[in-house]
Structure 1
Amino acid sequence: MRLIIATRGSKLALWQSNHIKSLLEDMGHEVELQIFKTKGDKILDTPLALIGGKGLFTKELEDAMLRGEAHLAVHSLKDVPTQLPQGLMLGAITKREVVNDAFLSEKYESIEDLPPNAVVGTTSLRRRMQLLHYRPDLQIKDLRGNVDTRIKKLKNGEFDAIILAYAGLKRLGFLESVRFVKPIDENLMIPAMGQAALGIECVPEVLEVVETLNDKKSQIETEIEREFVDTLQGGCQVPIGVRAQLLDNGDIITKAVIGMPDGSELLKDKIIGNVENYSDLGKELAQSMIENGAQEILKRAEEIAFAEHKR
């Protein structure tokens, strides 16, 4: 079968698409990549949360599939909104890489080693919230651009440290490019929903081919995470971390955090379930946090994030 993958042109997007391309070619399919520029690639001076969030990296690729110009698109799953356009489906979730965020610095070995008022780069409200809760003295500054652009800014001395997803660094071979690269403990920084997994979005006609690439463990974990965010109705403009972990004994531990962007207020919760009946775990955890005021906190968090940007 001849397949066309719609992709962004960044190094990471191309790595991801070529990775899936080679797997499909091994199965005997003919595959080509078609490059599109998304809104998220064009607007580099504004935090994503304030210009429409995660769909910014998927919409043009989705439009191409709906127009019949491509059959599938390979996304970082954390960039995929919980609701997909009619006519498209999430055909497969690949095996996850290391899920953690990563601390990168040329001068300091860890978050703990950063001096008072150190400048840390991240545009993620989720990372910012958890960093400032742990170290209120830090100065958090926006950091946009592709992975190599962000690392260049660190090396140029614009930041004392930056925070990126460990999975992206590993996939691009950047783990050795900075003096200190260290995964951040999940108890300190809970990752984003779907972090470190690739989501393959496709048209129904190629579902049978795409679903052969699905990893069941990753699918279960990320379904719970996506259901949690969907139930909270926490779009991309709010700081939310959630991580479901399926253990070897069949237990699933899901922990989540929401709060204010400045780290002044944090709400954490967790739920333990089993793989035999995991389907509502994300919803149950979200409901528990809603009862403890989660939606009110998220509403205030969103208002503050927008107000700060307008200043």
Structure 2
Amino acid sequence: MIAYHSGEITVQGRAGLAQQAEFSRGAIQNAVPDVAADFLAQQPMIVIGGTDRDGRIWATQLTGPPGFLEAAGSTLTIGALPPPEDPLAGLLTEARTGAPARIGMIAIEPATRRRMRVNGRAVRTGDHLRVALDLVVANCPKYIQKRDHRALAPDDGETVRTVVDGTELSADQQRTLREADTFFIATASDRGDADASHRGGNPGFVRVLSPTLLRWPDYVGNAMFMTLGNLERNASAGILVPGWTTGRALHLTGSARTVWDADETAGIPGAQRIVEFAVTGVREVGAASPLRWSDPAYSRFNPPAT
């Protein structure tokens, strides 16, 4: 059975959920069951987290027609590579057998509110990525907003990948975060093992305190604390905010910490803790995805946002 690392154990204990975490650990595997392989094969998108050449953690997305994700046992093949504008392009296109890229991934199907986490070590093979899996776990459907998708034709919509870089959030980017109901966060353990996770809530659940400081509530989950456990030992983190209706992608990198102060969480509905994220880098990419998604049906589990 796969063991938790010291950061996860510390957070589980502090939250008073060590027993529940031990129960949840039984769901963690290192191979993809057949039903999960079928799920992955149906997905047009996977979110990936990893560390760039400068040691910064980013989250990004790869897309393709259903079938571009092919799982067999402890191997996942991804039939896509990131474009040069992507913040993880260097990591993923240069990964070789002798120096695999440690990546965390999450496949999510908003239409059915299903998601699956798969982490491992990736190498490039031609125009594909082959990932040796170290961790496979299905997550619960809480806080996922229901959406349907369609794929644009090659000559339909925005096609030029514009890039805007910065060290702080513009007014428009701050508005995007205040209106967001979903984002993805990438972290890594102190050993460098990467992870990618989903965060969702009603619009307004992400608070923009300044152009370089965000906060959001940490709601009730599966008690594994993979994200917060990583942050306990390694504060570096990355965020992806998908442009569901535009195809744009907002990538942030920086550092995060968990706020355990009961007085600070008391006024935030549903908050068990708070996560604070300090922005050090921003990259916004236009035409990052050919997928367009419908307006959301919000999860019944979302607490009210203040």
TM range (shorter): under 0.3
Larger Rg: 1
Structure number having the greater helix percentage: 1
Scaled by the length of structure 2, the TM-score of the pair is: 0.27
Structure number having the greater strand percentage: 2
